[in-house]
Amino acid sequence: MRPLSDFPRVGLAHCPTPLELMPRLSELLGGPQLFVKRDDCTGLALGGNKARQLEFYFGDALARDATTVLVTGAVQSNYARTVAAAAAKLGLDCHIQLEERVPGMGEVYHGSGNVLLDQLLGAKLHTYPEGEDEGGADRALNEIAKGLEAAGERPYLIHLSEEHEPLGALGYVDAALEIIQQTDQKQVPLKTIVMASGSAATHAGMLVGLRAHGRRDVAVHGICVRRGQNAQKRRVTRVVRKTEALLDCIGVVHDDDVQVTDEFLGPAYGRLTESGNQAMLLGARTEALILDPVYTGKAFAGFLDLVRKGSTGPEPVIFLHTGGTPSLFAYGPEVLEIAKSSVGP
């Protein structure tokens, strides 16, 4: 495998993040030992998985002498917020294009959470009306970049569509080795990891990292948070192949290594679900885990279901907490009602 040191990189994330036992939850469910990999603790502007990914994008941006960075994403995009934070930290301008992926949302959604942080961090905001048009969103972002270039800027674009080189996945190739080392140190058998699967960079990077380091015995379960499982499986597989190509390790991941389920997605991206709501409450009230309704709440629901059904066997199970805390506040009124209507774990 080509070494990660071949790629320009800038330090942004607080790593290694903790790998913590969840003793109360493990006891409550009466199954295997349950662990959480705390990538909500990566540190950059309230943390999350994007900090690891952006080390490689911003390394490339600085190597290209960029003056401004552009990204597109949902209104409550954790990625966009972390891009704004990295740009501020490194002295670059930042332009964010916000896509309307969740129709019918009100003032709180459009003015709090990640949007509030985007503006606090000094990003210039643009809007794109379509929520499920990645190609169109990329083209619109390209037009913004052309305008900036005409004004003398040197723009660097971070596209979220899978058509582009997945530099961000390298952050989770690295994280896979970190998890291998931590489980070895703790003498915890590494057999199962569960995570949210959306843009697919985290999921693909983890698979490539594990397999490239010889860990064919570790199952990675992706819980769909954006699209149905058939489309998501195809997307993860394509990003895996692009990541393998970057690292000169084509074929280390087999097609059947890509495991996803859309059972916990609900009606659409960004919509609350009963299983996700209950997972958020359980995580908070047993282990003080702050989960969000869009990504980690749904992923944690899938994690709990796998454990309860015994699908992971008797070996320990790791939940990858990918962050997303700010978006919780964008759903504040709904989450408050959920919390008030329920007592106990």
Whether the bond into 16 is cis, omega within 30 of 0 = yes
Give, for 223, the enclosing helix (H) or strand (E): strand 219-224
Determine the residue type at 121. Answer: L
pLDDT of 164: 85
Q: Which helix (H) or strand (E) holds 197?
A: strand 192-197
Q: What is the pLDDT of residue 132?
A: 80
Query: pLDDT tens digit string along 127-139?
Result: 998 878 888 999 9
pLDDT given at position 342: 81
Helices (H) and strands (E) in the chain — how many of each? 13, 10
Residue numbers of the chain with a pLDDT score lower than 50: none
H/E run at residue 41? none
Active site residues: 77
Residues sharing a CB contact under 8 Å with residue 260, sequence separation 6 or more, in sequence order: 197, 203, 221, 222, 223, 224, 229, 232, 233, 236
Same fold yes or no, 4-48+166-340 and 50-158 = yes
> According to the model, what pLDDT value does residue 130 have?
83
Alpha carbon separation from 160 to 88, 122, 163, 266 (Å, rounded): 20, 21, 8, 22
pLDDT tens-place string over residues 75-127: 999 999 999 999 999 999 999 999 999 999 999 999 999 999 999 999 999 99
> Looking at residue 172, what is its pLDDT?
98
Mean pLDDT, all residues of the chain: 96
> What digits encode the pLDDT tens for the residues 328-338?
999 999 999 99
DSSP string, 124-159: EEEEES-SS-HHHHHHHHHHHHHHHHHTT--EEEE-
Predicted pLDDT of residue 160: 77
**In CATH, which of 3.30.10.20, 3.20.20.240, 3.20.20.10, 3.40.50.1100 is domain 50-158?**
3.40.50.1100
Q: What topology is assigned to 4-48+166-340 in CATH?
A: Rossmann fold (3.40.50)
Task: Output the pLDDT for position 161.
Answer: 76
pLDDT of residue 221: 98
CB neighbours of residue 270 within 10 Å = 23
C-alpha span between 6 and 273 (Å, rounded):
43
Torsion angles phi and psi, residue 212, rounded to 5: -65, -25
Q: Where are the domains of the chain?
A: 4-48+166-340, 50-158
